Amino acid sequence: MEEGALLDTATTWVEQARHVAVLTGAGISAESGVPTFREAQTGYWAQFRPEDMATEEGFRAHPRRVWDWYQHRRGLLAASQPNAGHVALAQFQQRHPGRITLITQNVDGLHQRAGSTGVLCLHGDIFADRWLDTPRNCCHIDHAVAGHPPYCDRCGNLLRPGVVWFGEPLPYATLEAAQQAARVCDLMLVVGTAGAVYPAAGLARIARDAGARVVIVNPQPTELDAVAHEALRGTAAQVLPALLSEAH
């Protein structure tokens, strides 16, 4: 089926859906100038080893290297703006309160800056810090001594980014809410994710098995294509405004 017909079908599915669940990944922020992870050449994992930069072991081995990389990313994100894809989702939620659940693997806060609320952030928030070890009475995050990373001057506990690293559990209540949304939705949009990381990627299969239609928005094939009823081969900033607008 040619692209225009696919988009028309998907738009009809949006109109018919009582509840839409949306799973987003790094690709939705690509048009805001934020690098993805697995894209060849430009992806972060083409430049760094995830085990060095996105695991607790990697942080403990080289806390300064990891902390500085997250500080670099925070600076890039502070200078980035939400794009038309983020905005289309936020505006859909404003027009149809309660009809959409937005689940993201992204830690960049761009959905929230576009106006989306109740975002289920499966992998945490890059702008939040937390203690590396269970905090003792002496550890006060607002008294942490500045450093790379900041630390507790009483016991040496280090601050770390409040994101979920490989091998770490996702926030239980957030994952539960996301899996519940996948079970009850009539339509799941899977936007800008390679579908390579679980349990996030498993949400598409949960939705499909529960009877929802599954539509992928991604310029490239993904590991979830086989789970989808349709794959719209375009970018988030191009496809989402057309897919979610009231024009149809």
Q: Does 240 bind ligand APR (CB under 6 A)?
A: no
> Which residue from 219, 229, 241, 242 is in contact with ligand APR, where contact means CB under 6 A?
219
Residue with tokens 């072991």: 57
Residue 22: HSE in the Cβ half-sphere, 13 Å Cα cutoff: 29
Q: Is 75 exposed, middle or buried (0-12, 13-18, 19+ CB in 10 A)?
A: exposed
Residue 120 β-bridge partners: 103
Binding mask 175-214 vs ligand APR (x if CB under 6 A, - otherwise)?
-----------------xxx-xx-----------------
Taking a C-beta distance cutoff of 8 angstroms, is the pair 130, 159 a contact?
A: yes
Catalytic residue flag (residue 62): no
Q: Which residue is nearest to ligand APR (CB)?
A: 27
> Which residue from 215, 235, 243, 244 is in contact with ligand APR, where contact means CB under 6 A?
235
Give me the least distance between CB of 157 and ligand APR, in Å please.
24
Active-site pick, 19, 123, 148, 229: 123
3-state secondary structure of 28: helix
CA separation for the pair 14, 244 (Å, rounded): 7
- Report the candidate in 75, 122, 99, 111 with the shortest Cα–Cα distance to residue 236: 111
> Which residue from 218, 227, 231, 232 is in contact with ligand APR, where contact means CB under 6 A?
218
Q: How many residues does the chain have?
A: 248
Give me the least distance between CB of 173 and ligand APR, in Å please.
18
Please report, as ranges, the residues that interact with ligand APR according to CB under 6 A: 25-28, 30-31, 36-39, 43, 105, 123, 192-194, 196-197, 217-220, 222, 235-236
Active-site amino acid positions? 123
